[in-house]
Amino acid sequence: MEKLYRILKFMVCIGLITAFLGCAATQKQQSTGQYIDDSVITTKVKAAILEEPSLKMLQISVKTYNGTVQLSGFVDSAQSVNKAGAVAGSVEGVKAVKNDLVVK
């Protein structure tokens, strides 16, 4: 009977360890809090770009991962590329901007 309890305790411990490791964030995955923070940053960057009259929001895609904002899409001039990067970088919470905008 005591051996059965030891095996049961061991199995419960293994189950708990597996559950905790499954919920931990890795470098390739974000925790729920990080995902929400990045969603808020993405929304703020999109709003800032939309407020800028020289930029066309529909042509610029914004994605955020761990505070790094990636801009992609097409703009009309090199000046617009620089302006979009500056606008994105000025938003609170943005750690870095990866500007992949292309002049068409």
Q: pLDDT tens digits, the chain, 104 residues: what are they?
A: 787 878 878 787 787 777 776 665 555 677 888 889 999 999 999 999 989 888 866 689 999 999 999 999 998 888 999 999 999 999 999 999 999 999 88
Taking residue 84's Cβ as centre, other Cβ atoms within 10 Å add up to 27
**pLDDT for 57:** 65
**pLDDT for 98:** 96
**pLDDT for 90:** 94
Domain boundary assignment for the chain = 31-103
Say how far apart CA 77 and CA 30 lie, in whole Å.
35
Topology of domain 31-103, CATH: Histidine-containing Protein; Chain: A; (3.30.1340)
Give the pTM: 0.70
CA distances (Å), origin 52, targets 17, 29, 94: 50, 32, 18
**pLDDT for 23:** 62
User: Is 88 in contact with 94 (CB distance < 8 Å)?
Assistant: yes
